[in-house]
């Protein structure tokens, strides 16, 4: 009788543990501001997906966002590359090697790319994003690298 009780307890515990593990998705929220705080980009990670959203948000809105699949991105190389206000766009963001799942971004105001620009030799480069009015955020370091071009708030 005690053995059946132990087996049932183990089965119940295993079931509850698996529900908790499956139900607890990785969620992270980061706000990126231009230096003068006139612009904001919210990045929300939920499980294998990342949402890049215009403006400051705590939840995913109905419009002005792009949903990306991040399943195959190496954490060491994972980053957000931002340039604020150029001649054509309010902001430009690149998340290298991401896959666009859904886009509801206003492309007349914002631009998003899934690959870094190439240099003269055809090699991806961050050079553009390390210039004035731009920023590179490293998920490995969880900070700007170098510390310039944006203000970061991690929730």
For residue 49, give both structure tokens. Answer: 């997906």
Residue-by-residue DSSP string for 87-133 = SS-SEEEE-TT-EEEEE---TTTEEEESSPPB-TTS-B--GGGGSTT
DSSP 8-state class, residue 30: E
In the block, residue with structure tokens 């310039």: 148
Question: pLDDT tens digit string along 12-38?
Answer: 544 433 433 434 556 999 999 999 999
Least confident of 6-10, 39-43, 77-81, 147-151: 6-10
Dump pLDDT digits (tens) for 47-60. Answer: 999 999 999 999 99
* Residue reference for tokens 């003068």: 36
Predicted confidence (pLDDT) per residue in 127-146, tens digit: 999 999 999 999 999 999 88
- pLDDT per position as a tens digit, 72-110: 899 899 999 999 987 788 999 999 999 999 999 999 999
Please state the domain extents for the chain: 25-154
């Amino acid at each position: 009788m005690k053995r059946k009780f132990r087996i049932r307890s183990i089965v119940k515990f295993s079931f509850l543990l698996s529900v908790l593990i499956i139900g607890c998705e990785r969620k992270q929220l980061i706000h990126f501001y231009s230096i003068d705080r006139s612009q904001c980009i919210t990045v929300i990670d939920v499980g294998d997906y990342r949402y890049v959203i215009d403006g400051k948000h705590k939840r995913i809105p109905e419009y002005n966002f792009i949903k990306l699949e991040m399943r195959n991105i190496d954490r060491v190389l994972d980053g957000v590359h931002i340039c604020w206000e150029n001649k054509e766009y309010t902001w430009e963001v690149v998340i290298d090697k991401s896959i666009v799942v859904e886009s509801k971004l206003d492309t007349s105001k914002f631009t998003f790319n899934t690959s870094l620009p190439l240099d003269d030799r055809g090699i991806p480069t961050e050079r553009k994003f390390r210039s004035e009015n731009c920023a590179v955020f490293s998920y490995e370091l969880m900070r700007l690298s170098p510390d310039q071009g944006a203000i970061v708030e991690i929730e």
